[in-house]
Structure formats: C-alpha cells, structure tokens
Amino acid sequence: MSDSMHIVCPHCQSINRVPANKLAEKPNCGPCKMMAPQFEQAATLLISCAILEESA
C-alpha cells in the first residue's frame, strides 16, 4: 500500500499526488497555492462591482 494518494484539486481539477500525512491540510496543487493571494485580491476588488439580486 502506498503512502500517497491521487487527489483532484478542488479549484482547477488537476490530479495531484499527495502524501497521506498531508491530507488533513486541504491539499491544493502548486499553481492554485501560488495564485491564491492574487485570487483573494481580485475577489476583494470585484466584490464592490458585483450586483446581487434576490430571486423570487
């Protein structure tokens, strides 16, 4: 039995091999980890531009 698993990144759906001891750390792929701060910044800037409407 291997001590790593293949996990699909919840953000970009790429398949990654993750060591079993790191599964509790919300594993994401390298590009998603690297881009996370930029995504957070863009979301913060765009939230003021978003128009939310209530559905009937």
pLDDT digits (tens, 9 = 90+) for 3-52: 888 888 888 888 888 888 877 777 678 888 888 889 889 888 888 776 66
More confident residue, 21 or 56: 21
| pLDDT-based confidence at residue 56 (cuts at 50, 70, 90) | low
Q: In one letter, which amino acid is 40? A: E
User: Which pLDDT does position 1 carry in this prediction?
Assistant: 47
User: Which pLDDT does position 4 carry in this prediction?
Assistant: 84
Cα distance between residue 47 and residue 31, in whole Å: 23
User: Which pLDDT does position 27 carry in this prediction?
Assistant: 65
Instruction: Decide: 16 and 7 in contact? Cβ < 8 Å.
Output: yes
User: Which pLDDT does position 6 carry in this prediction?
Assistant: 87
